[in-house]
Amino acid sequence: MTSSPEESWYKRSGVEDLVEFYRTKFVSDEVLDSRYFKALDRFDMRFARTMWVFDNVRPGSTVLDLGCGAGMLALLKRKDVTLAGIDLSSECALASKRNGYDFTFSGDLTNLPFEDHSFDYVVSLDVFGHIEVSQKEHVISEIKRVLQPDGVTLHGIECTDRSLRPPLNEMTTEELHRFIAVDGHVGLEEEQEQAQRFQRFFKNVAFEPRYALCLTSEEFLKQADHYGLPFDTDFLDYLRGLSFEERRAFDIAMGYVFGRISELNIKLPKAGLYVFVKASDSELGPFYNEHRDRSSLLPASHAEQPVSLDRRNDVVFDDGWYEPNLLPPIARWMAQTAKIRFQAAALGSISFDLTTHIPDLQVKPVELEILVNGCSLSAISLYRYGWLNWKIQIPPELSSAGEFEIEVRSNRTWQPRPLGRAEDGRDDRELSIAVCNLEIIS
């Protein structure tokens, strides 16, 4: 993903404005801010690559994320790292900053705007597949330059299998256009080729082919539909028919298996899909979990936690809550019923802001009910769009319970895009209301 004059594959495939191409492909309003990370998501296959980096980065270190996109490595902030990001697209850089990166830059990866030996780790996920082969070694030399002498560089790289997929120079213009339009891959190589490039610059290089077994449900379909990988048709049909919750369950199961493979250090055969590369001039530690400490992801003690529940890591949002979205502000969408569990010495009232995008609101208002520790405290009919502040007084008999469970119920939900649109994709979540600024007042 560089802006070099040799972007021949992009140009040949009809991509004239590379920055715009990446902006439209990878900029999203997805909230990756580590403060909103749900502990259970550490098993989600979507975060498998992130967790590999998370478990290999030393707490408090300095990390540069190359091609940071929307900020997939924002979770590293839970390890108190100093996190910098660089991306070709300034909007991606902005999105990463919004998601909690300390510094972000827009620029060319062959000319990094940093002093020599600035970072303990230089990391990239899904970037080298977007760099043209002729540019890769420029990028690796820049990585080596900005990396501490004993620093480690970690990369998750998309690969190809030449026995299954023809190289770009053997594709017709139409095939090339179709292929590059999917993900923008112009620099796919086989696993060992990627590793060999790093071996030219670093003394110690380790690599592991991954994703031979575990993929997200979405990735299975993409590999079959767009890259022609041969999966069984009935399996693909089954995946296509899964609901949002079922897909999430599938992805968590896959992610769990992925994590266990790493923990057990099981060697997988190369599958022409993906490779993890770890390289350094100093001695390499274990390939997986070199600095594993996931305690910061788990619910912590509530001592001295702020009064807002949104970003407290001791507060448990159950699976009735979806991951946050930037509406703005950052808010969590809720299914028909959702619960929040937290501890507090005393609870006088709860206040939060809510909104909905549900259709026909004026004809069919949304009935909402709030329960605290199973006791119904308030109910409203939401009949207008926009934000509403809802404040609920806690009766004295409940206020000193110590442990609290807030349950919000809605009488109906809707699916924003159950069938999916070309530009936005599918969104078949069952949504009712979005909630933010959950505040408890003692």
Partner 1 sequence: MVDQEVEDILKQIRNSVRAEEERNARPVQTKNGHPTGSNSTAQPPAVQSVQNYPNLSTLNRAWDRLPPVMSNRRGALASAELWLKQILKRGSRWFTWEQVNFNNAVHHTFREVIESLTTFEQQLGETNNRLLELQQHQRRLEESFESELRQLSKTTSELARLLPALDRDRQLHALQTKLAALEVAWDRWEHQRQDESARVTESLLEIRSATERVLDEQRVCFKQMHLEVAEISAREERDRRALNQRIVKLEGAHESSKASGGSES
Rule CB under 8 A: which residues touch partner 1? 304, 306-308, 310-311, 327-330, 353, 355, 385-387, 436-437, 439
Residue 80 or 245: which CB sits closer to partner 1?
Answer: 80
Q: Which residues pair with 304 in a beta bridge?
A: none
C-alpha span between 379 and 371 (Å, rounded): 9
Residue 44 or 310: which CB sits closer to partner 1?
Answer: 310
- CB 139, min distance to partner 1, A: 35
Residue 316 near residue 343, CB atoms below 8 Å: no
Residue 82 or 308: which CB sits closer to partner 1?
Answer: 308
Supply φ then ψ for residue 245, to 5 degrees.
-65, -40
- CB 216, min distance to partner 1, A: 30
C-alpha span between 202 and 351 (Å, rounded): 55
CA distances from 426 to 45, 218, 420 (A): 18, 10, 4
Residue 140 or 440: which CB sits closer to partner 1?
Answer: 440
Q: Which residues contact 331 (CB under 8 A, 6 or more apart)?
A: 324, 325, 353, 355, 434, 435, 436
- CB 77, min distance to partner 1, A: 12
C-alpha span between 240 and 124 (Å, rounded): 30
Residue 95 or 159: which CB sits closer to partner 1?
Answer: 95
- CB 356, min distance to partner 1, A: 13
102 HSE (CA, 13 A, CB side):
14
**100: region left, alpha or beta (phi > 0 left; psi from -120 to 50 alpha):** left
- CB 135, min distance to partner 1, A: 39
Residue 204 or 308: which CB sits closer to partner 1?
Answer: 308
C-alpha span between 54 and 283 (Å, rounded): 19
- CB 399, min distance to partner 1, A: 21
- CB 357, min distance to partner 1, A: 12
Residue 61 or 160: which CB sits closer to partner 1?
Answer: 61
